[in-house]
Amino acid sequence: MPTTAPEITLSARKLTRSFGSQPVIHDLSLQLRRGEVLGLLGHNGAGKSTTLQMLTGCLLPDNARKNGCSIEICGIDLLRHPALAKSHIGYLPETPPLYRELSVNDYLIFAARLRGMGSAAAREALQQARLRCGLESVGNKIIGTLSKGYQQRVGIAQAIIHRPAVIVLDEPTVGLDPSQIREIRGLIRELGNNSSVILSTHLLSEVESVCDRVEIMQHGRLIYGDTSARMQQYGQVSGFTISLRNPPPPEELQAIPGINRVDQLSAGQFRILYDADNNPSAALLTLAEQRGWQLQQLTPLQATLEDVFVRITDAETAATGETR
């Protein structure tokens, strides 16, 4: 077994899974690095929860005993040494595994003891988990009486109480109100400072807020992977919109060197597209001043994360001929 903390905390190779005759996951491979927050992004039904269940040992891959299929947690083979590998994992399913009739303290002590902690170690772990998850004021309250946001915090607390190297969160903010979502996202970001985190989501804002890297999943396959920042630059168009008080005919704008396309959005507003290495904005500003167009605004075009996600998934759909 490994004696030093590896840089790769989770590694999965060639996982497949079907339910009956319906294939759900196809030859999936991914890695998670220490200190990284990875977002598994996809439409509902893309296979995210099934993937996380396999990564945490709750569900066996169909090809678990075949060459090439493997899941390693901190260098430990999950399929051969499940108990040891799982000791390094904290898992929050989409529906938190809470005992609603217990108090927060009793439930978290129970979770710590399930992880093999002695009484004293469990008490210390309880204090740390409550502090990290903002549960100090509700320790003696019954879980079933708490708001959904606090129940989600309790679910995260049980996942981290044993200080795992890998934290797996399935749709951690689903069903929460905007204030609760902000709080949970802040907590996830903080967890990424000390552990590796993988979370599934269909919310693009979640990826933008908390994830260092993103893997996009569609029809049980990973179709795109990169940093969140570079994902936002995927297929980015070089262009800007302008507003002119006294606009010329579009043909006059089209004649400016470097401009490839002019779309008139309204009487005085235009979308200008150009080659990435030939920005015509300086020439346009000069002509606007010379010809009295009275430029009011020039705004660079920026693709939203939603635009990028749709572009990537649509391109995959077109390439495979599949439908959503």
253-300 per-position pLDDT tens digit: 999 998 999 999 999 999 999 987 889 999 999 999 999 999 999 988
Distance CA 93, CA 100 (A): 16
Shared domain for 206 and 253, answered yes or no, is no
- One-letter amino acid of 275: D
pLDDT tens by residue, 136-168: 999 999 999 999 999 999 999 999 999 999 999
Shared domain for 84 and 170, answered yes or no, is yes
Q: Is residue 140 part of a domain?
A: no
3 state SS of 128: helix
Q: Is residue 40 part of a domain?
A: yes
Q: Which of 174, 208, 232 is a domain's end point?
A: 232
Q: How many independent structural domains does the chain possess? A: 2
User: Which CATH number goes with the domain that contains 75?
Assistant: 3.40.50.300
Contact between residue 30 and residue 189 where contact means Cβ atoms under 8 Å apart: no
Longest dimension (CA), the chain: 81
Whether pTM exceeds 0.85:
no
Q: Which of 181, 211, 232 is a domain's end point?
A: 232
Shared domain for 32 and 84, answered yes or no, is yes
Distance CA 261, CA 250 (A): 9
Shared domain for 204 and 253, answered yes or no, is no
**Domain containing residue 289:** 239-300
Shared domain for 45 and 168, answered yes or no, is yes
Tokens encoding 132 = 């990290």
